Amino acid sequence: MAAPLMGPVAVVGLEFCAPYAVPLTVTKKALSLTDGDFVVMDGNGAVLLKVKGVFFAFRERRLLLDAAGNRLLSMQAKILSIHDRWKVFRGDSSSEKDLLFSVKKSAVIQFKTELDVFLAANTSELVCDFKVKGSYFERSVAIYLGSSDTVIAQVSRQYTVKNVLLGRDTFGVTVYPNVDYVFIAALIVILDEINREGSDS
């Protein structure tokens, strides 16, 4: 069994770390022009976060907002990246000084999902700070601390008749204690984007 975390994993902010496991439901809508592409709800069904897609300088961006509409993160795909690299910035920024972390495929060709996550300070990128592994299409993915066996969140796709009829994807997420749930939500959005791009191509 993996060792418990020694301290909080606060990538976006300590205020998003709870001392208990946080259950989230992430719902991706088929088409929404007003309410966002993704909605993240807590265990009671209250909306915590929303994600909206925008186009900026001929590249795709995703803005992650809190329930009040404040912009927490800007997620941006890198153009012509063979590893499907995404960069995530604080607030509405796209400036390198506001970079929090980046995500890329561990290998160009993959049969199972494997993404490497690098914090902004890790400029050498010799060792990843977090890793996303599992089978996206088989509905089971885990997020690990670095290359260790320490799981910080688990994700499962939920298939229901209602979701299929409405053209929605729903993910059940367990964010482990003292782990930044906004960071985890951003990783799930990027995971979905990378897998969607792969299936489209």
Q: Does 33 reside within a domain?
A: yes
What's the predicted TM-score (pTM) here?
Answer: 0.87
Q: Is residue 87 part of a domain?
A: yes
Residue 133 maps to a domain: yes
Q: Yes or no: say if 5 and 150 are a contact pair by the CB < 8 Å rule.
A: yes
For residue 46, give the DSSP letter: -
Q: What percent of the chain has pLDDT over 70?
A: 76
pLDDT above 90 coverage of the chain, percent: 54
Residue 55 lies in a domain: yes
Each residue of 134-173: pLDDT tens digit?
876 656 899 999 989 999 999 987 765 555 555 567 889 9
**Domain harbouring 72, CATH code:** 2.40.160.200
The answer to whether position 122 is within a domain reads yes
8-43 pLDDT per residue, tens: 999 999 999 999 999 999 988 765 544 458 899 999
Q: Total structural domains in the chain?
A: 1
Half-sphere exposure of 61 (CA within 13 A, CB side): 17
- Are the beta carbons of 173 and 25 closer than 8 angstroms? yes
Provide the domain limits for residue 76. 22-200
pLDDT computed for residue 113 by the predictor: 79
Q: Name 68's Cβ contacts closer than 8 Å, sequence gap at least 6.
A: none
Q: Does residue 12 belong to any structural domain of this protein?
A: no
**Cα–Cα nearest to 40, from 153, 197, 198, 164:** 153
CA 195 to chain centre: 12
Give the C-alpha separation, 56 to 54, whole Å.
6
Amino acid at 82: I
* Coil/strand/helix, residue 155: strand
Instruction: Report phi then psi at 54, rounded to 5.
Output: -140, 160
Half-sphere exposure of 162 (CA within 13 A, CB side): 3
Question: Interior CA angle at 111 toward 169 and 54, to 5°?
Answer: 40
Residue 46 falls inside a structural domain:
yes
Q: Are 37 and 29 in contact (CB under 8 A)?
A: yes
Residue 146 contacts residue 125 (beta carbons within 8 Å): no
Domain for residue 6, yes or no? no
